[in-house]
């Protein structure tokens, strides 16, 4: 289903560009109101980007023009907005964020009244209602209604572990100068942890700037220098989690999912004995889960596709290698804090350090690349790349796989090769890159 503006996680782009600007944001708000077709309260949250307040006010203006009542939650993690929509019985949730992207970008994503991101079909219907004209100026967005959404989120996260259970734990926490700077450290300290902070001084322009889940180098160095038990890193809006063990080694989403799934299988608590992952996840995840009698179901890239499959299958655990981890008994979207607390719970239950728990996943050799291009062309229109893909798939057989796809949020071609040896994988990725560069304008 082709969509012009929506990608894998809402609408996203450079602030002040043809899409992410106040005029478009207002028109999008009006289109969403028309699509919804009923009155009610809409909760709006944002991350710490300098462009957030202006875009928030513009979306609210469009929503109000369509008969809805916008309510600002201020700076708040994305999963906290999803939770608040359900608990406060709002008709819709909106988050102004570009997640792990730099401060120069921003975006807009929506949650339905069930706390789940909108479907592809819904986004296509909204796009069809986008008018060309501007929305008339209206009243400014009301001030932050209350702190109840943030307070409720903090209380719910704190309840995932016993009171005082982290007493004596030293944890390094990187909040990416983003939306979790005021929530995750509060939760961890309230449970007794000594927290060393990184990326905890947002100024509107430093979100994700050399910190956060996309840049875990500082996290790893601080864990080693402080002797911490583990490190936790979020992205700008708090729906991702990357961990670092006590030896300074970084764990991605696949390792987190495998720790949680294999522990639950051993305990007999993995619902439907099922883990839902995307096509991006390493084949080693399947091997680890199946060895304990579980199964892994695959979806397209995007945590909203993961939750859709989880709901359809009745599964409770799923996520992405990027660090989106969904624990459906707590949240129906990725939640970096919940993921970290669930791994800590496994550490407490087993008495094992993170460096040992991570050995549950034996990764197949895998390499990835992302080529930034001037224009996204249909992959089927690139005969050289298509031929290379078919040749490599034939050579790998059942001992590996390829993934070639366009990013849903950026003008990037993402390549993945997985295979039996490092040599095979490196050679395969080099062939894919060469084929892509021959037919695309790579910048």
Is 113 assigned a catalytic role?
Answer: no
Catalytic residue among 23, 51, 72, 99: 99
Residue 36 tokens, joined: 């919804």
Q: Any idea which residues carry the catalytic annotation?
A: 99
């Amino acid at each position: 289903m082709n969509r012009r503006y929506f990608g894998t996680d809402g609408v996203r782009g450079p602030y002040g560009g043809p899409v992410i600007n106040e005029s478009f944001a207002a028109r999008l708000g009006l289109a969403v109101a028309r699509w919804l077709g009923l009155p009610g309260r809409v909760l709006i949250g944002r991350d710490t980007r300098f462009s957030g307040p202006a875009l928030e006010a513009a979306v609210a203006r469009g929503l109000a023009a369509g008969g809805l009542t916008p309510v600002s939650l201020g700076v708040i993690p994305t999963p906290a907005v999803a939770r608040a929509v359900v608990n406060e019985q709002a008709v819709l949730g909106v988050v102004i964020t570009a997640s792990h992207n730099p401060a120069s970008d921003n975006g807009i994503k929506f949650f339905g009244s069930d706390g789940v991101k909108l479907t592809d079909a819904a986004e296509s219907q909204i796009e069809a209602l986008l008018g060309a004209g501007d929305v008339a100026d209206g009243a400014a967005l009301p001030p932050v209604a209350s702190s109840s959404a943030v307070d409720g989120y903090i209380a719910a996260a704190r309840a995932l572990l016993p009171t005082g259970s982290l007493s004596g734990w030293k944890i390094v926490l990187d909040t990416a100068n983003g939306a979790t700077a005021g929530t995750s450290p509060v939760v961890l300290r309230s449970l007794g942890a000594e927290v060393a902070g990184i990326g905890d001084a947002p100024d509107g322009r430093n979100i994700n700037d050399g910190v956060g889940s996309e840049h875990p180098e500082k996290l790893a160095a601080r864990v080693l220098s402080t002797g911490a038990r583990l490190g936790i890193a979020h992205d700008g809006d708090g729906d991702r989690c990357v961990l670092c063990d006590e030896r300074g080694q970084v764990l991605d989403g696949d390792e987190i999912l495998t720790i949680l799934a294999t522990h639950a299988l051993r305990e007999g608590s993995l619902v439907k004995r099922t883990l839902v992952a995307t096509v991006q996840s390493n084949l080693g995840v399947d091997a680890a889960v199946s060895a304990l009698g579980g199964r892994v179901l695959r979806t397209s890239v995007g945590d909203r596709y993961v939750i859709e499959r989880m709901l359809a299958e009745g599964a409770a655990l799923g996520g992405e290698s990027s660090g989106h981890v969904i624990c459906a008994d707590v949240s129906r979207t990725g939640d970096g804090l919940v993921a970290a607390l669930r791994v800590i719970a496994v550490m407490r239950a087993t008495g094992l350090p993170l460096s040992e728990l991570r050995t549950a996943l034996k990764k197949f050799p895998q390499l990835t690349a992302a080529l930034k291009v001037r224009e996204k062309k249909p992959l089927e229109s690139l005969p050289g790349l298509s031929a290379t893909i078919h040749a490599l798939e034939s050579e790998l057989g059942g001992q590996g796989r390829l993934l070639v796809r366009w990013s849903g949020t950026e003008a990037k071609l993402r390549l993945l090769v997985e295979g039996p040896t490092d040599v095979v994988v490196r050679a395969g990725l080099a062939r894919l890159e060469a084929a892509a560069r021959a037919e695309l304008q790579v910048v």
